[in-house]
A and B are shown apart, each in its own frame.
Chain A
Amino acid sequence: MSRLRVELPGLDLKNPIMPASGCFGFGKEYSQFYSLDQLGAIMVKATTHEPRFGNPTPRVAETTSGMLNAIGLQNPGLERVMTEELPWLSNYNVPIIANVAGSTIEDYVAVAERISTAENVHALELNISCPNVKEGGLAFGTVPETAFEVTKAVKDVSSVPVYVKLSPNVTDIVQMAKVVERAGADGLTMINTLLGMRIDLKSGKPILANGAGGLSGPAIKPVAIRMIHQVSQQVNIPIIGMGGVQSAEDVIEYFLAGASAVAVGTANFVDPFTCPSIIDALPALLDELGVHHISELTGRSWKKSWDLQSSSH
């Protein structure tokens, strides 16, 4: 078995590297640079029931080693994703993780029920953590009761496993993780962006038209690592980690923290070849670390030595 192959609920991944939702569209643009077959999976752009235009521009602003965005879940809507985007992606041998968003629980349910029937959609990523929309999004991801309710409702209708994308903009990330696990989540993806803002000195006003936006990029990696380190010790479902991943070394750090796979977001904008470059670099790095299979690293930062012994037998 390949030393990068990872099996997670609904997902048989040839490697644990995938582009993160919102940073890769529906794949077409990046397919001009490399074959999408190389990727472990693709987390496609959030899909809502109806089309959304999103927020006014400017929608992005750079910060120190990071970026703020407030795109506002712009997407062509469920119908077009089902009839155009997903069929196009089926030209590639790569499992799709469909990011599902909405303003009401009914929205989430309607999108989840239908999108989970697409042949190449192997899992859902429940987006209860988008900071850039007025209704829904983050509102579902910061209140434990609503997070439970929407997760359970989506689980009831989904034909594929459901991963819940957690927001870091909460007081107790472990509580949120446990709540969605209890609601039936098959896995977690974490973290979504951190709420932030930049103000233009000349105008004296926020740079983003939306005011606040979501911070991503290398600046947030330590936050994600800490949260995954905490959460992975408290839940029994796998975590796909994300936040500022740029290199194979970053991927290893995420595994050590407790992730079982890793998504690459903002780095795609910096270097479109980030994902394939990481995939190429991982085997040599595993050699250097004396590790045969990448999954051996999951949670090694907190597992006791006898855990490690037993997990390798």
Chain B
Amino acid sequence: MKQLKTELVSQKEIAASIYEAVVFHKEIDESFQPGQFVHVKTGFGSDPLLRRPISICHVDPNQHELTMIYRAEGKGTKVLAEMVPGVEVDLLGPLGNGFPIERTMEGETALLVGGGIGVPPLYYLSQELTKRGVKVKHVHGFQTSSVVFYEEKFKAYGPVTITTADGTYGEEGFVTNQIDMNADYLFACGPSPMLKALENYRAKKGVYLSLEQRMGCGIGACLACVCHVQGDETGFAYRKVCSDGPVFQAGEVVL
């Protein structure tokens, strides 16, 4: 992990309150893996104070560019949304442990399931799995049509099923109604009710879930983002979402 003073290359609103920001730094390279995140300082003073954890949506190691997609909802992300190309964006990264793509093999299949702002890290994952010869399918759930994004981009790697809770786009309902259980792997990122529902699904070779939690330091020191370990009778065992996760095998931690 490093502290990088990156340059904001571009930023645009790609759906309602959903922003895509691209940053450049010469040390952005293939060490940034799908499922990892960056901890971003938004603004320049002490308000907002803490960094914001944002998943890595894409990395171009040749151009040394990193793409992140976030929802401008709280104070920090709203400040970030106002930053213009050319400004410095201070980030720590790559942080955490991503999806175990090294376990996958050519010819295997993977189902990628994303919910809302949990969709972005699956884009980089989909690209890297495809490179390895893994066949990917996507199921992405959103609240409503105005917040749907990246449908065409994902289609470049495999079929995409979109669900919206209000039925204004794609299939009405939730991603859990659209799960095809024949895949070797299931990789998911989204809100915890969605992850809880997916936890009980079984894929032949593994189900991996990326968790979200409020964080302090982002590197494992402050113990803000801990979760219990499933089956631990002592009650003292824990995992840190920031540094042990954010991706865990289903069944490892209590969601």
Partners in one complex: yes
Name the segment of B15-23, B29-37, B222-230 touching the other chain: B222-230
A69 contacts which chain B residues (CB < 8 A)? 216, 222, 224
A53 touches B214 (CB 8 A): no
Please judge, given known A-B contacts A60-B216, A67-B216, A269-B216, whether A74 and B223 are in contact too, CB under 8 Å.
yes
Please judge, given known A-B contacts A60-B214, A64-B47, A67-B49, whether A29 and B219 are in contact too, CB under 8 Å.
yes
A106 to B173, CA, bound (A): 57
What 0/1 pattern do residues 51 to 63 of B give for CB contact below 8 A with A?
1000000000000
A266 touches B219 (CB 8 A): no
Please judge, given known A-B contacts A32-B1, A51-B236, whether A57 and B227 are in contact too, CB under 8 Å.
yes
Name the segment of A17-25, A91-99, A162-170, A185-193 touching the other chain: A17-25
Please judge, given known A-B contacts A53-B236, A67-B50, whether A25 and B216 are in contact too, CB under 8 Å.
no
User: Which listed residue, A30, A53, A64, touches B238 by the CB 8 Å rule?
Assistant: A53
B236 contacts which chain A residues (CB < 8 A)? 51-53, 76-77
Q: Measured between C-beta atoms, what is the minimum distance from B79 to chain A in Å?
A: 12
Identify whether the interface residues of B are mostly helix, strand, loop, or mixed.
Answer: loop
A23 to B76, CA, bound (A): 21
What 0/1 pattern do residues 1 to 40 of A give for CB contact below 8 A with B?
0000000000000000000001111001110110000000
Q: Measured between C-beta atoms, what is the minimum distance from A291 to chain B in Å?
A: 26
A25 to B216, CA, bound (A): 12
Q: Measured between C-beta atoms, what is the minimum distance from B95 to chain A in Å?
A: 11
A65 to B213, CA, bound (A): 21
B170 within 8 A of A: no
A110 contacts which chain B residues (CB < 8 A)? none
B219 touches A54 (CB 8 A): no
A246 to B3, CA, bound (A): 17
A57 touches B226 (CB 8 A): yes
A266 contacts which chain B residues (CB < 8 A)? 49
Identify whether the interface residues of A are mostly helix, strand, loop, or mixed.
Answer: loop
What 0/1 pattern do residues 32 to 50 of A give for CB contact below 8 A with B?
1100000000000100000
B48 within 8 A of A: yes
B46 contacts which chain A residues (CB < 8 A)? 65, 217-218, 246, 270
Closest to A50 in B: B236
B206 within 8 A of A: no
Please judge, given known A-B contacts A22-B222, A54-B226, A71-B223, whether A66 and B238 are in contact too, CB under 8 Å.
no
A59 touches B219 (CB 8 A): no
A172 within 8 A of B: no
Please judge, given known A-B contacts A29-B243, A217-B49, whether A71 and B3 are in contact too, CB under 8 Å.
no
Residues facing A in B41-97 (CB within 8 A) are 41, 46-51, 75-76, 90, 92
User: Which listed residue, A57, A65, A272, touches B49 by the CB 8 Å rule?
Assistant: A65
What 0/1 pattern do residues 221 to 250 of B give for CB contact below 8 A with A?
111111110000011101000010000000
A268 within 8 A of B: yes
B189 contacts which chain A residues (CB < 8 A)? none
Please judge, given known A-B contacts A25-B220, A57-B227, A270-B41, whether A218 and B49 are in contact too, CB under 8 Å.
yes
A58 within 8 A of B: yes
B175 within 8 A of A: no
B203 contacts which chain A residues (CB < 8 A)? none
Q: Measured between C-beta atoms, what is the minimum distance from A9 to chain B in Å?
A: 27
A266 to B47, CA, bound (A): 13
A67 to B49, CA, bound (A): 8
Closest to B50 in A: A62
A71 touches B76 (CB 8 A): no
A25 to B234, CA, bound (A): 22
What 0/1 pattern do residues 1 to 13 of B give for CB contact below 8 A with A?
1010000000000
A60 touches B219 (CB 8 A): no
A30 touches B49 (CB 8 A): no
B238 contacts which chain A residues (CB < 8 A)? 53, 74
B223 contacts which chain A residues (CB < 8 A)? 25, 45, 54, 59, 71, 74
A53 contacts which chain B residues (CB < 8 A)? 226, 228, 235-236, 238
Residues facing B in A168-183 (CB within 8 A) are none
A273 within 8 A of B: yes
Residues of A within 8 A of B (CB): 22-25, 28-30, 32-33, 45, 51-54, 57-62, 64-67, 69, 71, 74, 76-77, 217-218, 246, 266, 268-273
Contacts A/B (CB < 8 Å), 19 sampled? A22-B222, A23-B221, A25-B221, A29-B219, A30-B219, A32-B219, A54-B223, A54-B226, A57-B225, A57-B226, A65-B49, A69-B216, A71-B224, A218-B46, A269-B51, A270-B41, A270-B49, A272-B92, A273-B3
A57-B214, A60-B215, A270-B46 provided; 18 other pairs, C-beta below 8 A? A23-B221, A30-B219, A53-B228, A53-B238, A57-B226, A58-B224, A59-B224, A60-B222, A62-B49, A64-B47, A67-B50, A67-B216, A74-B226, A217-B46, A268-B221, A269-B50, A271-B3, A272-B3
The 9 closest A-B pairs by CB, nearest first: A25-B221, A29-B221, A60-B224, A269-B217, A51-B236, A218-B46, A65-B47, A58-B214, A65-B46
